[in-house]
Amino acid sequence: MRLITYAVLLSSLALCACSDETDSEATTDAGVGGEPDAQTQTALCNGHEELCARAYDDVSFAATHNANAAQEYGYGINSNQISGLTKQLQGGVRALLLDVTYDDAGATVLCHGPCSLASTPHLDGLAELKTFMDEHPREVVTIIYQDSISEEDLEADFETSGLFDLVYTLGGSWPTLETMIEDGTRLVVTTESGSAPPAWIHHVWDVAFDTPYSFMSVDEFSCELNRGAADNDLFLMNHWVNTELDLPSEENAQLVNASDVLLTRAQACEAEAGKRPNFVAVDFYEHGDLFEVVDTLNGL
């Protein structure tokens, strides 16, 4: 596949500086604008009536890369986000890229990089998700785990958290968001290493494909096939630029999350892959135009 060059965007974007106040604004659960009242909310799926009749694999979702590696949880130079999971979900994020492993005591934790620097008990993260989903019964959420724990321990944590009753199991074609909501199976769980059984743990590269992710500059962005098969149902677009030391960069996120870069790349990847990105994954989602871009991809 062809390399997509964005250097031409750098000069134009450099001319405009986005204020911290604008960057830090988060959308509501309904997307841009105010949250709808209870009567209106019952007609919405992920904040939009238009998405209810869409199949899951025909919807684009705002996603956070290393969602657990947040400054709110004590991460420093290796943080990929500012806010924790609750604020991400409340802000409109609907796909969480999480790293789950064992700590030195054998407990399951969310951790990116050396767990000695920062970590969160896996069950605490699941508890935040459970609270959000209980309070927002018409939201469909996806987890993409970078996992190094057993399927048995993952299942045990889901049972303990109460999320087990919400998980979806793929059995043919993907249903509509409305169907997933009505059936009460509105949490899709995928893992990079693990796989079924149990059936609700989907090996992500059996159902999805993604782009490369080790970018050090905007002009390195590519839509080339990285993992998974190009004819899989779901498309993950990895969209962040690290520093020369391969560390997350909040400054770079302000540039690459801007619509001029993010939407341009998403549309180019759609044209190249023949499929609209389902998961638009970014660092420091609070900067830039992630939610507006996802709405545009969804034709809203």
Which has the higher per-residue pLDDT, 20 or 74? 74
Is 45 contained in some domain? no
Is 199 contained in some domain? yes
Dihedral angle sign, alpha carbons of residues 97, 32, 128, 175: negative
Residue with tokens 């889901």: 158
At 278, the pLDDT band (50, 70, 90 cuts) reads very high
Is 73 contained in some domain? yes
Flag the least confident range among 27-31, 95-99, 118-122, 277-281: 27-31
Q: How far apart are CA 172 and CA 186, in angstroms?
A: 16
Flag the least confident range among 5-9, 77-81, 272-276: 5-9
Q: Is the pLDDT of residue 165 over 70?
A: yes
Is 24 contained in some domain? no
Q: What is the mean pLDDT of residues 94-115?
A: 96
What count of Cα atoms within 13 Å lies in the side-chain half-sphere of residue 40?
10
Q: How far apart are CA 114 and CA 60, in angstroms?
A: 32
What count of Cα atoms within 13 Å lies in the side-chain half-sphere of residue 132?
25
208 DSSP β-pair partners: 234
CB-based contact 58:106 (threshold 8 Å): no
Q: What is the mean pLDDT of residues 18-42?
A: 44
Question: For the domain that residue 192 is a member of, what is the CATH number?
Answer: 3.20.20.190
Is 94 contained in some domain? yes
Dihedral angle sign, alpha carbons of residues 28, 33, 36, 42: negative
Q: What is the mean pLDDT of residues 40-60?
A: 92
Q: Which of 6, 3, 56 is nearest to 279 (CA)?
A: 56
Q: What is the per-residue pLDDT for 130?
A: 98
At 41, the pLDDT band (50, 70, 90 cuts) reads low
Q: Report how far Cα 104 is from the mean position of its chain's Cα atoms.
A: 28
Flag the least confident range among 14-23, 82-91, 127-136, 270-279: 14-23
Is 48 contained in some domain? no
Q: Which of 279, 70, 298 is nearest to 190 (CA)?
A: 279
Cis before 212? omega within 30: no
Q: Is the pLDDT of residue 180 over 90?
A: yes
DSSP for 70-81, please give it. BGGGT--TT-SB
Q: Which of 158, 161, 138, 141 is nearest to 149 (CA)?
A: 158
CB-based contact 130:161 (threshold 8 Å): yes
Q: What is the per-residue pLDDT for 11?
A: 39
Q: Is the pLDDT of residue 163 over 70?
A: yes
At 260, the pLDDT band (50, 70, 90 cuts) reads very high
At 15, the pLDDT band (50, 70, 90 cuts) reads very low
CB-based contact 67:85 (threshold 8 Å): yes
| Cα angle for residues 100, 177, 185 (degrees, 5° grid) | 50
Q: Is the pLDDT of residue 190 over 80?
A: yes
Q: Which of 49, 80, 86 is nearest to 67 (CA)?
A: 80
CB-based contact 209:227 (threshold 8 Å): yes
Q: Is the pLDDT of residue 58 over 60?
A: yes
DSSP 286: T
Q: Which residues contact 11 (CB under 8 A, 6 or more apart)?
A: none
Average pLDDT, the chain: 89
Q: What is the CA radius of gyration of the chain?
A: 18
With a pLDDT cut of 70, the percent of the chain lying above it is 86
Q: What is the per-residue pLDDT for 24?
A: 39
Q: What predicted TM-score, i.e. pTM, was given to this entire model?
A: 0.87
Q: What is the mean pLDDT of residues 227-243?
A: 97
Residue 267, domain extent: 7-12+57-297
Residue 232's alpha-carbon distances to 81, 149, 194, 203, in angstroms, are: 29, 25, 18, 12
Q: Is the pLDDT of residue 102 over 60?
A: yes
Is 34 contained in some domain? no
Flag the least confident range among 39-48, 51-60, 152-161: 39-48
Is 230 contained in some domain? yes
Structural domains in the chain (count): 1
CB-based contact 269:236 (threshold 8 Å): no
